[in-house]
């Protein structure tokens, strides 16, 4: 078990910013890094390197462009090791502010040393709950955190830790303050003595789309991976109840919301009994309450699709793409069309901030502006380009900006949300429609060599083999075929070009976007209440500020094949 030997963190220039050894005599960071980099990118998260002493397994994760490496000389549970690295990254981010930057690490070695000491004890994972760590390790001073959180490089010497001693006289809530009752560990994930001047609760439900469309545009699979992020800033030990609903009512939630996973604080029994109700005592601060999955196509989609091939595409996604390849005289063009669902078009550029409930009772009015008018933002279409393509001679987007330079692996076409919504505004009547198109012409490496190589060797015929059972007629066909070959050779140059251009066509296209105030699954927060009976240290008539945010994200998530 205690096989986590060390942690090395490298910044984006591959310089080592942290080297912490827990156990054993692992190879140093300077030795491991070149061996790790020797592997071809994308590098697997677990690499075995036998030419170090001792032979080591290297686990790696990348977080905010920082590379975390951790060697181990014995066989361990790889997932546990990787999870641990993720926890370290999360905790560092929690303490040092997000995003995690190498400067932040370099200026807070004192905090990191304590954290790493607490998290892993002699190679055995000890405490990884951020709240428990908050109890024993102090976050960097507020001044530092404030500036670090903004992400400014702390060039000014006045805020580096060396001189932040000036603030150490500020009374701190170190260990000493809660020493009296720390004999007991009540709730492992919640820190003791939480105090907040203003009490706030935020629920962020984020769904990430993973949709695969067949070349014909029909969906093959469509999943939304949901995550419920929760931010609790409440004094005492509150006991919360979060109820979700789905379009078909609360009872259909169980079938919509599949394969859930929960933070340890969630009472599983309650969920089993009444799906959709999450009863929990939250950790302090931000955490992930639950994760789930929604099959947007519904159960047994394949069966239904085969049974009725003409079945309409009932997939409800705000934006998708269509690709047509092999266009033009020589088949060297392809066209990508952006399709927007008019429902998500809106003229008013509403930004979906937190729509807050004014009062806990005011849940009915929660929708605010964004939920009723969700709009698609940050549209980016990526079209991976085949390796044989030398260049794209023409990029003609009808809207937005497309970018490709020779050597890139993909064309990126960005359509500003304003453009898209303005365009689709015109489409209100005509249903889902094409908003913009991008047309490209590929130039393959073979185009030049063609003349030299022409004539040599046999050409492939356009004929495809049928698996017929007429092998007996073999001999007779022969004569015809030979003549056909000659004919082909002389006649059809352009067919050949179409053929060769076909290999240069993109094989897929994917679209990224985000929609605020809308969830693909249609799940909504029904209510969020504090159970005052069960809570402790919570004022009877405390009215916390509650906020709910919905966000649907596609990160290259909608993919069409062509």
Partner 1 sequence: MESISRVTSMLETARDLTLEAARDASFARKSSTRPLPPVQLKKLLDSRHDKEILDGLRKVLSMSYKHQPTLQYFSNIIKNIASPNLEIKKLVYAYLVQHAEEAPDTALLSINTIQKSLSDSNPQLRALALRTMSSIRVPVISQIVALGIKRGVGDMSPYVRKAAALAIPKCYRLDPSTMPLLVEHLSTLLGDKQYYVAGAAVMAFLELCPERMDLIHPHYRSLVRKIVDMDEWGQLATMRLMLLYARKSFPKRTKRVKKTKSVGDQERKPRKGFYDSESSEDEAGGASEEHGEEVLILDPDLDLFLRSIHPLLQSRTSAVIIAVARCYLYLGNTTYLDNAIGPLITLLRSAPDIQEVALYNIIQICLHYPQAFVSYASHFLVRATDSPSIQDLKLEILTLIFSYSPPTTRSLILAELSHFTTSSNPHLVRSAVQAIGRCAQSSPTTQLSTQCLKLLLKQLSSPDAHLVASSLDVIRHLIQRDPQAHVKTIVRLAKSLDALTAPAARASIIWLVGEFASVDPEHNIAADVLRILVKGYAGETDAVRAQTVLLAAKVYLQYLLATKKEDSVPEQPKNEDSTIEEGGWSPTATTPETSKLDSNHPIPLLYQHTLLLARYTPSYDLRDRARLYRSLLSTPTTSTALASLLLLADKPVPLAPSPSQSRKDFVLGSASLVIGEQSGTGGLKGYEALPPWVKEGEEPDPKLRDEVGGRGEYVSIGAAGGNVAGVSAGERLDGATGSKGGLGVGRVNGAGGKEKTLDDWLDEESEEEESSSGEEESGEEESEEESGVEYETESEEDNEGEEGRLVK
C-alpha torsion angle, residues 76, 79, 84, 86 (rounded to 10): 150
Tokens standing for residue 462:
């356009």
Choices 14-22, 363-371, 414-422, 435-443 (CB under 8 A): range interacting with partner 1: 14-22
Contacts of residue 286, defined as CB under 8 A and 6 or more positions apart, other chains included, come to: 94, 229, 230, 231
d(C-alpha 295, C-alpha 58), whole Å: 36
**CA 169, CA 147: separation in Å to the nearest integer?**
19
* CB 441 to partner 1: min, Å: 17
Count of beta carbons in the 10 Å neighbourhood of residue 502:
12
Q: Residue 341 or residue 559: which is nearer to partner 1 going by CB? A: 559
Of 26-45, binders to partner 1 (CB under 8 A) are 42, 44-45
Minimum CB–partner distance for residue 505 and partner 1 (Å): 8
Q: Using the rule CB under 8 A, is 126 a contact of partner 1?
A: yes
Based on CB atoms, which residue is closest to partner 1, 171 or 364?
Answer: 171
Closest CA to 96 of 157, 137, 155: 137
Contacts within 8 Å (CB) and 24+ apart, 157-163:
160/107, 161/107, 161/108, 161/110
**Nearest approach, Cβ of 55 to partner 1 (angstroms)?**
7
Distance of alpha carbon 137 from alpha carbon 113, whole angstroms? 10
Question: Applying CB under 8 A, what is the total number of residues that bind partner 1?
Answer: 169
Tell me the closest approach of the beta carbon of residue 423 to partner 1, in angstroms.
23
Please give the residues from 371 up to 400 whose contact with partner 1 meets the rule CB under 8 A.
Answer: 384, 386-388
Residues 182-241 that bind partner 1 (CB under 8 A): 182-188, 204, 206, 208, 210, 212, 214-215, 220-221, 223, 225, 227, 229, 239
Report d(CA 547, CA 397) in Å as an integer: 40
**Binding to partner 1, residues 323-362 (CB under 8 A):** none
> Which CB, 169 or 198, lies closer to partner 1?
169
Long-range contacts of 215-223 (CB under 8 A, 24+ apart): 215/560, 215/561, 215/562, 217/313, 217/320, 217/322, 217/560, 218/305, 218/313, 219/296, 219/297, 219/301, 219/313, 219/315, 221/297, 222/295, 222/296, 222/297, 222/315, 222/317, 223/293, 223/294, 223/295, 223/296
Looking at the Cβ atoms of 60 and 346, the one nearer to partner 1 is 60
Is there a contact between 140 and 167 (Cβ–Cβ < 8 Å)?
no
Taking CB under 8 A as the rule, does residue 401 contact partner 1?
Answer: no
For 108-235, strand residue ranges (E) read 120-121, 124-125, 200-213, 219-233
Site for partner 1 in 236-295 (CB under 8 A): 239, 258-264, 267-269, 281, 286-288, 290-291, 293
**Residue with Cβ nearer partner 1 (249 or 486):** 486
Question: What's the half-sphere exposure (Cβ side, CA atoms, 13 Å) at 439?
Answer: 8
Nearest residue (CB) to partner 1, 426 versus 449: 449
Of 65-73, 329-337, 361-369, 424-432: span binding partner 1 (CB under 8 A): 65-73
- Closer of 186 and 365 to partner 1 (Cβ): 186
124 contacts partner 1 (rule: CB under 8 A): yes
Query: Which helix or strand (DSSP H or E) is residue 268 part of?
Result: helix 268-273
Q: Tell me: cis bond preceding 53? Omega within 30 of 0 counts.
A: no
Q: Which helix (H) or strand (E) holds 480?
A: helix 474-491
Instruction: Say whether residue 559 binds partner 1 (CB under 8 A).
Output: yes
Closest approach of partner 1 to the CB of residue 427, in Å: 27
Find the helix or strand (DSSP H, E) in which 511 lies. Answer: strand 508-516
Among 6, 32, 33, 61, binds partner 1 (CB under 8 A): 61
Residue with tokens 């984020």: 206
User: 519 is written with which tokens?
Assistant: 């969830």
> Does residue 503 contact residue 386 with C-beta atoms inside 8 Å?
yes
Of the pair 70, 421, the CB lying nearest partner 1 is at 70
Q: Contact letters (x/-) for partner 1, 144-163, by CB under 8 A? A: -------x-x-x-x--xxxx
Within 448-487, which residues bind partner 1 (CB under 8 A)?
A: 457-465, 467, 469, 471-472, 474-475, 477, 481-482, 485
Per CB under 8 A, the list member of 14, 39, 53, 74 interacting with partner 1 is: 74
Q: Does 298 bind partner 1 (CB under 8 A)?
A: no
Q: Would you say 41 or 429 has its CB closer to partner 1?
A: 41
Other beta carbons less than 10 A from residue 504's beta carbon? 24
Instruction: Give the nearest distance from C-beta 46 to partner 1 in angstroms.
Output: 5
Nearer to partner 1, 467 or 540 (CB): 467
Cβ-based nearer residue to partner 1, 432 or 447: 447
Q: Which residues between 78 and 107 bind partner 1 (CB under 8 A)?
A: 78-80, 82-83, 86-87, 89-90, 93-94, 98-103, 106
């Amino acid at each position: 078990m205690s096989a986590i030997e060390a942690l090395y963190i490298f910044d984006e220039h591959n310089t080592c910013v942290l080297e912490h050894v827990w156990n054993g005599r692992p190879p140093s960071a300077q030795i491991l890094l070149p061996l790790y980099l020797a592997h071809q990118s994308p590098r697997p998260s677990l690499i075995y390197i036998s030419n170090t002493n001792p032979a080591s397994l290297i686990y790696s994760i990348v977080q905010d462009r920082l590379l975390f490496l951790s060697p181990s000389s014995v066989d361990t549970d790889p997932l546990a090791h990787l999870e641990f690295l993720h926890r370290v990254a999360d905790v560092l981010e929690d303490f040092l502010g997000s995003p995690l930057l190498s400067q932040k690490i370099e200026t807070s070695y004192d905090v990191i040393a304590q954290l790493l000491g607490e998290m892993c004890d002699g190679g055995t994972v000890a405490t990884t709950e951020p709240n428990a760590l908050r109890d024993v390790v102090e976050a960097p001073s507020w001044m530092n955190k404030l500036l670090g959180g903004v992400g400014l490089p702390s060039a000014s010497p006045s805020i580096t830790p060396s001189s932040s001693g000036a603030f150490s006289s500020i009374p701190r809530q170190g260990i000493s303050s809660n020493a009296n009752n720390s004999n007991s560990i009540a709730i492992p994930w919640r820190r003791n003595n939480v105090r907040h001047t203003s009490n706030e609760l935020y629920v962020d439900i984020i769904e990430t789309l993973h949709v695969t469309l067949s070349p014909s545009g029909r969906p093959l699979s469509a999943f939304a991976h949901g995550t419920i992020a929760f931010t609790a800033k409440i004094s005492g030990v509150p006991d919360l109840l979060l109820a979700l609903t789905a379009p078909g009512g609360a009872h259909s939630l169980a079938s919509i919301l599949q394969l859930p996973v929960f933070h340890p604080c969630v009472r599983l029994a309650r969920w089993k009994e009444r799906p959709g109700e999450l009863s929990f005592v939250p950790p302090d601060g931000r955490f992930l309450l639950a994760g789930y999955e929604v099959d947007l196509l519904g159960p047994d989609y394949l069966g239904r699709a085969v049974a009725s091939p003409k079945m309409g595409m009932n997939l409800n996604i705000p934006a998708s793409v269509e690709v047509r390849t092999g266009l033009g005289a020589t088949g060297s063009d392809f066209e990508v069309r952006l399709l927007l669902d008019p429902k998500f078009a809106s003229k008013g550029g509403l930004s979906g901030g937190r729509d807050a409930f004014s009062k806990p009772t005011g849940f009915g009015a929660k929708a605010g502006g964004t939920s009723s008018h969700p709009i698609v933002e940050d549209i980016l279409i990526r079209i991976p380009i085949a390796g044989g393509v030398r260049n794209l001679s023409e990029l003609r987007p009808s809207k937005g900006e497309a970018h490709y330079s020779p050597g890139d692996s993909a064309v990126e076409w960005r359509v500003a949300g304003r453009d898209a919504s303005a365009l689709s505004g015109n489409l209100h009547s005509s249903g889902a429609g094409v908003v913009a198109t991008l047309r490209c012409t590929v130039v393959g490496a073979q185009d030049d060599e063609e003349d030299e190589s022409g004539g040599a060797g046999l050409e492939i015929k356009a004929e495809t083999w049928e698996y017929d059972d007429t092998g007996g007629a073999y001999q007779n066909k022969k004569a015809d075929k030979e003549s056909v070959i000659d004919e082909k050779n002389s006649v059809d140059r352009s067919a050949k070009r179409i053929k060769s251009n076909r290999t240069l066509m993109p094989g897929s296209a994917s679209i990224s976007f985000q929609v605020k105030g809308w969830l693909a699954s249609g799940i909504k927060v029904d209510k969020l209440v504090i159970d005052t009976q069960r809570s402790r240290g919570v004022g009877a008539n405390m009215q916390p500020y509650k906020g709910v945010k919905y966000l649907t994200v596609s990160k290259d998530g909608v993919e069409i094949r062509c």
